[in-house]
Amino acid sequence: MALVSSTAMLTRAREEGYCIAAFNVHTLEMLQAVVEAAEEAEAPLILQSTVGTVKHLGASYMAAMAKVAAASANVPIALHLDHCHDDELIAECIKVGYTSVMIDASMHPFAENVERTRRVVELAARHDVNVEAELGKVGGVEDDLVVADADAVLADPTECEEFVRLTGVSTLAPAIGTAHGMYKGEPRIDFTRIGEIAVRVGVPLVLHGGSGIPLEQVKRAVSLGMAKMNVATELRIGFSDAIKQVFAENPDENDPRTYMKRAKAAVKSIALAKMSMCGCIGKAR
C-alpha cells in the first residue's frame, strides 16, 4: 500500500484508548527494523525523520525509502517530518511524499505560533497531510534542537484549546514535563495537565520525549489522551551499542552487512517493546 496520512490512525488511537509509536530513523537499516517490527506486531507505524536527517540523506531519498517500505508492508505506514521551523523544507517534504509534518513555532509568541501553524495547515490540507504543532517548550536535546531545563515551559490548557480552534491543526504536542533525550532521573510528567488539555482539545495529543519513560507512566498518559509517542534516542543508542559490540568482539570486522544485521536486530527489539508499551499491537488488523 501507499504511505498514508497519520490523521486517521491517530484519531482512531485516541478514540479507542491506545497510542501509535513513532520512530525517528536515520538510516535504511533503522527504517527496515521498525517496519519489520510493525509487521510482526501488526501495528500501525509512523516513521519520522528529523530536519538533520533530511539534510543528511535528502528528503527525496527518505521519502523513497519509506514509499518502498509501505508498498510491500501489510500495515499502514505514515512518514512524518519532526520538529521543523522552516516552511520551505516543510513544503519540500510534502512535495516528495511526506504524509505528516510538524511545524514547531513554539519558541515564538502565541500569536506568531498560531499564524505560522495556520499557514502550514492550509498548505497541508491540499495534499491530505497531517500537521502537528507544539505548545509550550519540551526540554532536552534532540538533533539540533536544544532546550535547557530552565527554559522548558509547560503548555497552558486554555491556550491549547484556543490554538487548535484558531489553526485547525490535526495533532497537538503540548509540553507536559517530558524531555527529549534520555532522562537523568524519573520523568516529572504533569498528568493533571494532560487530562485538562484532553478535556478541552479533541484532536490527538502527542507525547514527545518517549525514550526512557517507564511503562506505567506511558500507560497513564495514553489513558488520558496521548495518541502518539515519539521515540528517538533509545533507537540511536541501541543501534550504536550493537555496532560497538560487534567491533569489541572482532576489531577487524569490515563488512557492514555483519554489524548492520546486529544493529537492525537491536532496533527491532526496542521498537517491539515500545509498540507493546503503547498498546498498538494488533491494531492494524
Per-residue pLDDT, 265: 98
156: cell is 497552558
Over residues 114-147, the pLDDT tens digits come to: 999 999 999 999 999 999 999 986 544 455 544 4
The residue behind cell 522548558 is: 152
Per-residue pLDDT, 182: 52
Q: What proportion of the chain, given as a percentage, has pLDDT over 90? A: 85
Per-residue pLDDT, 149: 47
Per-residue pLDDT, 152: 57
Summary mean pLDDT of the chain? 92
In a domain, 148, yes or no: yes
270 CB neighbour count, 10 Å cutoff = 22
Residue 210 is assigned to a ligand binding site: yes
**Average pLDDT of the residues in 270-282:** 97
Residue 279 is assigned to a ligand binding site: no
Residue 124 is assigned to a ligand binding site: no
Q: Which of 20, 44, 47, 54 is nearest to 206 (CA)?
A: 20
Residue 201 is assigned to a ligand binding site: no
In a domain, 283, yes or no: no
Per-residue pLDDT, 181: 54
Examine the residue annotation and report whether 156 is marked as an active-site residue of this protein: no
In a domain, 155, yes or no: yes
In a domain, 1, yes or no: no
In a domain, 213, yes or no: yes
- Pick the catalytic residue from 82, 87, 156, 241: 82
In a domain, 59, yes or no: yes
Per-residue pLDDT, 159: 95
The count of domains in the chain is 1
In a domain, 284, yes or no: no
36 is in which domain, residue-wise? 6-278
CATH number at residue 60: 3.20.20.70
Please state the φ and ψ torsions of residue 94, each to the nearest 5 degrees: -65, -40
In a domain, 285, yes or no: no
Residue 49 is assigned to a ligand binding site: no
Per-residue pLDDT, 141: 43
Q: Between these two residues, 7 and 182, which has the higher pLDDT value?
A: 7
Residue 87 is assigned to a ligand binding site: no
**Average pLDDT of the residues in 10-14:** 97
Residue 180 is assigned to a ligand binding site: yes
Per-residue pLDDT, 148: 42
Q: Between these two residues, 188 and 53, which has the higher pLDDT value?
A: 53
Over residues 59-107, the pLDDT tens digits come to: 999 999 999 999 999 999 999 999 999 999 999 999 999 999 999 999 8
Over residues 213-239, the pLDDT tens digits come to: 889 999 999 999 999 999 999 999 999
Residue 104 is assigned to a ligand binding site: yes
Per-residue pLDDT, 238: 97
**Average pLDDT of the residues in 107-118:** 96
